Chains A and B, each alone.
Chain A
Amino acid sequence: SQELEQSPQSLIVQEGKNLTINCTSSKTLYGLYWYKQKYGEGLIFLMMLQKGGEEKSHEKITAKLDEKKQQSSLHITASQPSHAGIYLCGADRSGGSNYKLTFGKGTLLTVNP
C-alpha cells in the first residue's frame, strides 16, 4: 500500500481561487518537503517542515505540518497560472543517517486564466 498519500490527484481551478493540497503519511515523519515540478524544469524546492504544528509561508503558498507529524497541507491563495504544475510531497522517515525522501504520487494543478 502507498505509505504517502496525496490528494487530490488533480485539481483545476480558476485564476484567483484558493486551493489546498493534502499529504498524509501512515507513519510519523521526521520531515516533510514540498516540491513543485514543471515539465522540463525538474523539481523546485518549496518548503521544508520538521516540527509538529509548524507553518511556513512563501509568497502566496503556505504549508503546515500537523502536531502528530503525519499530515501536511499546502495552501495557495489567489492562484495564478504560474502556480500550475505538479506538486509533490516528500517524506523523511529516516530520522538520522541513510537519509532519503519518499514521495507521494503528486497533485497536478491547472489554473485557468
Chain B
Amino acid sequence: DTAVSQTPKYLVTQMGNDKSIKCEQNLGHDTMYWYKQDSKKFLKIMFSYNNKELIINETVPNRFSPKSPDKAHLNLHINSLELGDSAVYFCASSQEWISGNTIYFGEGSWLTVV
C-alpha cells in the first residue's frame, strides 16, 4: 500500500479555474507538507501542518488554501489558477514536526495550466 498518496496524478486545466489536489497518508504521522517543484526542478516547501494545525506558510499566495480535515489528510485547493502555477506538487509527511524525522513524499501531482 502506498504510504503517501495524492490525487490526481495529472491535471490539465485552464487559467482562472479552481482545482484541488488531495493527499492522504497511512503512516500514522502527525505532520504533513506540501512542496512545489517548478519547471527548473527546484523543490520548495509551501505549507506544513501538525495535527491539523498550520505550522509553516512559506509566503504562498492566498489563492492556495490547504485544508486538513484530520491528521491523515492534507488537501490543497488553488483558486484562480495562473500559468505560473504549473508545476509538480508533492505531498509529504513525517512522524513529528521536529528535526530528525524523515519526510516521506508522495508521487507528485503534475499540474498544467493552459
Contact = CB atoms under 8 A, between A and B. Distances in A.
B75 interface: no
Given A48-B102, A99-B99, A101-B45, 10 more contacts: A31-B99, A42-B4, A43-B105, A50-B100, A88-B43, A94-B99, A96-B99, A98-B97, A103-B42, A106-B41
Interface of A: 30-31, 33, 35, 40-43, 45, 48, 50, 86, 88, 90, 92, 94-103, 105-106
Interface residues of B, number: 29
Interface string B15-32: 000000000000000010
A51 to B, nearest CB: 11
Nearest to B106: A42
User: Interface majority SS on A: helix, strand, loop or mixed?
Assistant: loop
Interface of B: 4, 9, 31, 33, 40-45, 48, 55-56, 90, 92, 94, 96-108
Given A35-B105, A101-B45, A42 B99 contact: no
A44 B102 CA distance: 11
B14 to A, nearest CB: 24
Contacts of B33: 100
A99 B41 contact: no
B41 A42 contact: no
B45 A92 contact: no
6 contacts: A40-B9, A42-B105, A42-B106, A43-B92, A45-B105, A102-B44
A30 B42 contact: no
A31 B98 CA distance: 11
Contacts of B101: 99
B105 A95 contact: no
Contacts of A30: 99-100
A95 B99 CA distance: 6
A33 B92 CA distance: 14
Shortest beta-carbon contacts, A-B, top 5 = A42-B107, A43-B105, A103-B43, A30-B99, A99-B97
